[in-house]
A and B are shown apart, each in its own frame.
Chain A
Amino acid sequence: MNAQPLDATGRADGIVLSIEDLEVTFATDAGQVPAVRKVGFEVSAGEVVAVVGESGSGKSVTARTILGLLAETATARGAVLLNGSNMLTLSARELRAMRGDDVSMVFQEPSTALNPVYTVGWQIIEGLRAHGKVSKKEAKARAIEVLRKVGIPEPEKRVNYYPHQFSGGQKQRVVIAAALALNPALIVADEPTTALDVTVQAEILELLREVRDDFNTGIVLITHNMGVVADLADRVVVMYQGKIVETAPSVELFANPREEYTQALLAAVPHLGRNSASAGMSERSGQEQEVLVEATDLNITFPGRLGSPSFTAVDGVSLQICAGEVYGLVGESGSGKTTIGRAIAGLNRVSSGSLKVLGHEMLGFKERSFKKVRQDIGFVFQDPAASFNPQLSVGECVAEPLYVHTSLEPRAARKKVEELLEAVQLPAAFAARFPHELSGGQRQRASLARALALDPKLLIADEPTSALDVSVQAKVLELFKELQAELGFAALFISHDLAVVDMLSTWVGVLYRGKLVEEGIGNQVMGDPQHPYTRRLIASLPVPDPVEQAIRREAFLKTLS
């Protein structure tokens, strides 16, 4: 084995990847669908090029073309030159030789990118030995070395661990280690941090930055998160509907976007500290109003499997939501925020403590006695695609609460549905359509219409915009804000995105591992966090501004060390 197999020495500077006039078309049931049209850009060694765009913009298809990983139904034209060879014309065997050696990929979901029945070491060694250069022993030594490089503690021991023994962030580190093992000239990272929590995201971004600096690797970063772009990218390629809209150095793009689309996209990105709903407030408002939700020492536990202890999702939480108030609940995945929302809606059972919803005690609740209360509660689910019955029309779905709780005539119900759709800025004709015929944003509006059908006192919104693109998210949030001001319902707004919560809610609670660690007025929690966890959470959030983000990053790294 080489003394410094992973050193950047010997890597020539210059262009690693050059895409020219790339066109990708998919054969579907509806005929030929172009996904990428005339796309071209270059990546140099040691450069991070971010490809940003909304869903359906062709960014992931472009990334997969670089590795020659296209679906069978796709046809690609043009040229993808990687170190001088065109990935589109190579045979399957030549492609295999290129993958890993010259280019490798970091996937979005680390838990599915690793094979659960093999140790992580085996998976890295497998990649090394596939290229047939090393003995088993050398390969193992190299696997340990890359694991150390990506910051896995005790790599000698952990090389023999299985993927489930690592946390999500560590798994992504392992995936990056596997990508680095053969020291490729280019790494394609497809949404590498989307499945991770913000605090972990910040660490992975730091790791990718180190990879670029230490190994002089070119990185193609596919993402929809402008904060991530601002944090890591040197150059940005903005894609829209399969075409490149704009290519510019990162600092320049954020400071002066040239194209209209880029300007609109950047304007739609929520920015922590701007547009706060609680701007100028100094105390909690609306306390004299009726208390709709009151939790005292709320505990929710899920029974463990035989022999394993039960899992406490919510641990001694006390909170209060008054009429007309928007309560924002933030936390990372597994913090129990969704469980609280579901308990209020009667979808989860309360284990101990007390939870009063509109005067009804939820501890040991009976569906029959709670049913009357349900008409005063609306619920907006996270995934608009899954929260509508695919077999019913949008009108029927929106009319469901009317049908269950009122005895409206079909004609009156239809009229009410049309009014509701108009209230959420959808054409009344959409009532006849099926959910799959609507876009994500339209579905989420319809979902809002359904939640508001009976004019509820309380609306629970569980991550209502996290499945939407930024520009759509901005519109849905705007609509939510308007409707709330107009109808005056109280809302529990659950989200992992601090900036979004700050835009909507006046009073914010921060959850960490089932405990409510901090509560306060939105701008005070965001501006002057008291609890160390909140501080870390806010510091790790990348802001969509490269200059400001560079300063924030320094501060964040200081808190880590």
Chain B
Amino acid sequence: MSTSIVSTPRAGKPLWQRLPIISHYRMSAGLQRGMLVAGLVLTCIFVLAAALAPLIAPYGHAQISDASGNFPTQAPPGGRFLWGTTVGGFDVFSRTLWGAQTAFAVIVIAVAFSIFLGVILGLVSGYLGGWLDRIMVVLADAIYAFPSLLLAIVMSIVISQGQSSLWGGVMAAAISITVVFIPQYFRVIRAETVRLKAEPFVESAKVVGASSGRIMFKHIFRNATRTLPLIFTLNASEALLTLAGLGFLGFGIEPTAASEWGFDLNRAMSDATSGIWWTGVFPGAAIVLTVLGLTLVGESMNDLADPRLRLRRKAKNRGGKATA
């Protein structure tokens, strides 16, 4: 009836309960909650390791000696070197921790850049349409057609040109990942924009006489970006894999400038055959667990955002006990 108001639970809740991950946690149940929590724990460990690396790491990322002389090379785990040392005398534990910092910086910069550019391009291209849209879509498809790692390699060569400083290397890696990711955000936002363009509320803004810019940024933008947290988490793990891939192939950051898991894995390759497992296992496990954590968060957010996939606490007596 017209007078009764159905208020949804979303309204009137404090802001913090409506934030993406917290609201997702609150409506999760069962296995989905388990997945989300596992992902969040892994992601938190990763973020904490990145933030607290300077405090926890016993040595610097490029340190091969201290007051008591040079570090031993290829020392097994134990004693002064918790996870052993590499062939160059680096402490594996310290490098794995510092690597988290590099990975975090690259992920944040890459994803921020690609979201920013991808969203704007997608909005403009989807809303205005016409030849501009056609060119953008062809460009995005062309970028898609390249293997992403190859593109990242080309970009990192173009951008860094042999630079090896910390920020130079991080930016080079981040920007090359950005180029690979822009088409993804562009496509998602463009598709949403094209869909929303035909919605009555956009048409009603048009009838009112609102300008294109106002319609794009006031009416479409906020409705088109609701899926972004989701792509964001899924892409973060992909960004990490691309970074590790670049490092593994030697296009990443110099070991003296910063620590990088992919590079360490590359160096550990020859160790593996001679039974030195610790140089490869720890950075490798760091990559796997971080990617797993981010993916779990992303996937469970994806499931929770869709009411049809979301598990709910069941009402008692499901299926019904007949009284007759």
Question: Using a CB–CB distance below 8 Å, which chain A residues touch chain B?
Answer: 20-21, 25, 27-30, 32, 54, 73, 75-79, 81, 86, 88-89, 345-347, 371, 374-375, 377, 379, 381-383, 386-392, 397, 400-401, 404-405, 433-434, 436-442, 447, 450, 469, 471-472, 475
A127 to chain B, nearest CB (A): 25
Identify B322's interface contact among A32, A86, A377, A379, CB under 8 A.
A86
10 more contacts with CB within 8 A, not counting A54-B1, A78-B322, are A27-B312, A77-B322, A77-B323, A346-B206, A387-B203, A389-B201, A389-B205, A404-B210, A405-B208, A437-B5
18 contacts between A and B (CB under 8 A): A25-B315, A27-B312, A75-B317, A75-B320, A78-B323, A86-B324, A346-B206, A347-B203, A374-B209, A383-B200, A386-B200, A388-B204, A389-B205, A437-B5, A437-B6, A439-B6, A447-B204, A469-B1
Identify B317's interface contact among A77, A434, A472, CB under 8 A.
A77
- B200 near A387: Cβ-Cβ < 8 Å: yes
A469 to chain B, nearest CB (A): 8
- A436 near B8: Cβ-Cβ < 8 Å: yes
- A461 vs B251: C-alpha distance in the bound complex, in angstroms? 62
Identify A89's interface contact among B2, B207, B214, B320, CB under 8 A.
B320
Identify B204's interface contact among A387, A440, A469, CB under 8 A.
A387
A293 to chain B, nearest CB (A): 15
Residue of B nearest to A390 (CB): B223
Identify A377's interface contact among B207, B318, B319, CB under 8 A.
B207
**3 tightest CB-CB pairs across the interface, nearest first?**
A441-B2, A374-B209, A79-B324
B10 to chain A, nearest CB (A): 8
B197 to chain A, nearest CB (A): 12
Q: Chain A residues near B314: list those with CB within 8 A.
A: 27, 75
B170 to chain A, nearest CB (A): 35
Q: Chain B residues near A386: list those with CB within 8 A.
A: 199-201
- B2 near A28: Cβ-Cβ < 8 Å: no
- B323 near A79: Cβ-Cβ < 8 Å: yes
B7 at the interface (CB under 8 A from A): yes
Q: Chain B residues near A401: list those with CB within 8 A.
A: 208-209
Main secondary structure of the interface of B (DSSP, over half): loop
B257 to chain A, nearest CB (A): 44
Residue of B nearest to A389 (CB): B201
* Contact A389 to B200, CB < 8 A, known contacts A27-B312, A375-B209: no
Residue of B nearest to A24 (CB): B320
Residue of B nearest to A433 (CB): B11
Q: Chain B residues near A30: list those with CB within 8 A.
A: 8-9
- B320 near A76: Cβ-Cβ < 8 Å: yes
Number of A-B residue pairs with CB-CB distance less than 8 Å in the complex they form: 131
Identify A77's interface contact among B2, B7, B27, B320, CB under 8 A.
B320
- A389 vs B199: C-alpha distance in the bound complex, in angstroms? 9
B306 to chain A, nearest CB (A): 13
* Contact A391 to B222, CB < 8 A, known contacts A379-B207, A386-B200, A437-B11: yes
Identify A450's interface contact among B204, B318, B323, CB under 8 A.
B204
* Contact A29 to B319, CB < 8 A, known contacts A347-B207, A389-B201, A472-B1: no
- A389 near B207: Cβ-Cβ < 8 Å: no
* Contact A29 to B27, CB < 8 A, known contacts A54-B1, A382-B200: yes
- B7 near A437: Cβ-Cβ < 8 Å: yes
- A73 near B207: Cβ-Cβ < 8 Å: no
B4 at the interface (CB under 8 A from A): yes
Main secondary structure of the interface of A (DSSP, over half): mixed
A401 to chain B, nearest CB (A): 5
- B5 near A404: Cβ-Cβ < 8 Å: no
Q: Chain B residues near A472: list those with CB within 8 A.
A: 1-2
- A79 near B322: Cβ-Cβ < 8 Å: yes
- B203 near A381: Cβ-Cβ < 8 Å: yes
Residue of B nearest to A425 (CB): B2
Q: Chain A residues near B206: list those with CB within 8 A.
A: 346-347
Most buried by B among A75, A434, A447: A75
Q: Chain A residues near B27: list those with CB within 8 A.
A: 29
- B320 near A29: Cβ-Cβ < 8 Å: no
- B323 near A29: Cβ-Cβ < 8 Å: no
- A415 vs B322: C-alpha distance in the bound complex, in angstroms? 57
B169-198 interface with A by 8 A CB criterion: none
B322 to chain A, nearest CB (A): 5
- A27 near B1: Cβ-Cβ < 8 Å: no
Most buried by A among B11, B200, B320: B320
* Contact A21 to B323, CB < 8 A, known contacts A75-B318, A437-B5: yes
Residue of B nearest to A89 (CB): B322
Q: Chain B residues near A21: list those with CB within 8 A.
A: 323-324
- A386 vs B198: C-alpha distance in the bound complex, in angstroms? 10
- A539 vs B177: C-alpha distance in the bound complex, in angstroms? 67
Q: Chain B residues near A397: list those with CB within 8 A.
A: 201
Identify A400's interface contact among B4, B208, B317, B324, CB under 8 A.
B208
Residue of A nearest to B226 (CB): A391
- B315 near A400: Cβ-Cβ < 8 Å: no
- B199 near A346: Cβ-Cβ < 8 Å: no
Q: Chain A residues near B319: list those with CB within 8 A.
A: 75-76, 88-89
Residue of A nearest to B221 (CB): A391
Most buried by B among A20, A77, A383, A447: A77
Q: Chain A residues near B33: list those with CB within 8 A.
A: none
Q: Chain A residues near B211: list those with CB within 8 A.
A: 404
* Contact A88 to B315, CB < 8 A, known contacts A404-B209, A439-B2, A471-B1: no
- A371 near B200: Cβ-Cβ < 8 Å: no
- A392 vs B210: C-alpha distance in the bound complex, in angstroms? 15
A277 to chain B, nearest CB (A): 22
| Binary A-proximity of B210-231 (CB < 8 A = 1, otherwise 0) | 1100100011001100000000
- A86 vs B201: C-alpha distance in the bound complex, in angstroms? 46
B302-324 interface with A by 8 A CB criterion: 312-324
B9-35 interface with A by 8 A CB criterion: 9, 11, 27
Q: Chain B residues near A76: list those with CB within 8 A.
A: 319-320
* Contact A475 to B320, CB < 8 A, known contacts A381-B200, A382-B200: no
Q: Chain B residues near A434: list those with CB within 8 A.
A: 11
* Contact A405 to B209, CB < 8 A, known contacts A88-B320, A472-B1: yes
- A27 near B313: Cβ-Cβ < 8 Å: yes
- A20 vs B222: C-alpha distance in the bound complex, in angstroms? 48
A329 to chain B, nearest CB (A): 17
- B204 near A379: Cβ-Cβ < 8 Å: yes
Q: Chain A residues near B9: list those with CB within 8 A.
A: 29-30
